Structure 1
Amino acid sequence: MPLRVTATDAAAALIRTLKDIHGPVMFHQSGGCCDGSAPMCFALGDFKTGAQDVLLGEIEGSPFYIGAAQFEYWRHTQLIIDVVDGRGGMFSLEGPEGKRFLTRSRVFSNDEWAKLKDAEQAKA
């Protein structure tokens, strides 16, 4: 089954560092408020998810959510969480590390998309 969200090796290493410092963490793909469209990292439970949030999967064992409206827009793509040098979101845990998370994406292949659609229909 294709993953809806993955992390680069650099992002995975930063996530492990943040977990060592802060304990379990979670992610939410920002919808454009405050810090643009950056993936935001929080201590687990510090960001309250709601009925309009979709759990895309996990990266480094950490849940990754996205708002339902954004999910509809991005549903044909795999989100690839990367990290670059620089200051990111003021609310996101990686800021003091001099790094920021960045979302890259790629469109699912026809075969991957068919598998995802089949899995969604099986859940319904």
Structure 2
Amino acid sequence: MDNPIAYGYFEKDSLKGFVEGFYEKWNRRFRISNIIIFDNDLRGKGIGKMLLDQIKIDAKKSGARMVVLETQSYNYKAISFYEKNGFEIIGFDLFAYSNSDIKNHNIRIEMGLRIDEYGKRLC
């Protein structure tokens, strides 16, 4: 991971959420490695979108051709959030976490957002 980027959302001196990611030079993709809002009461208030929008700006600046991230198949709220923000499902890994993933209904989902050649499609 070269030159990771992170942004946080603070209230007073308390970190309430953050996003982090990095540019994958070998395939020109920007990978969001983590995004979280810690307090459930703050979810759905636009903080995640604000953090996501900010890191998408860095993805565009990096020269990435797309932004990618991972989530789990049972995390319906995350999948819905990413889809509302322009991401689509681009792949699956049936055994990313254990050899029982399929049986446990816990499949890794890769989601991506293409950035066209002119960087217009981000949101």
Same-fold status (TM-score > 0.5): no
**Quick one: higher RCO (CA 8 Å, sep 6+), 1 or 2?**
1
TM-score by length of 2: 0.24
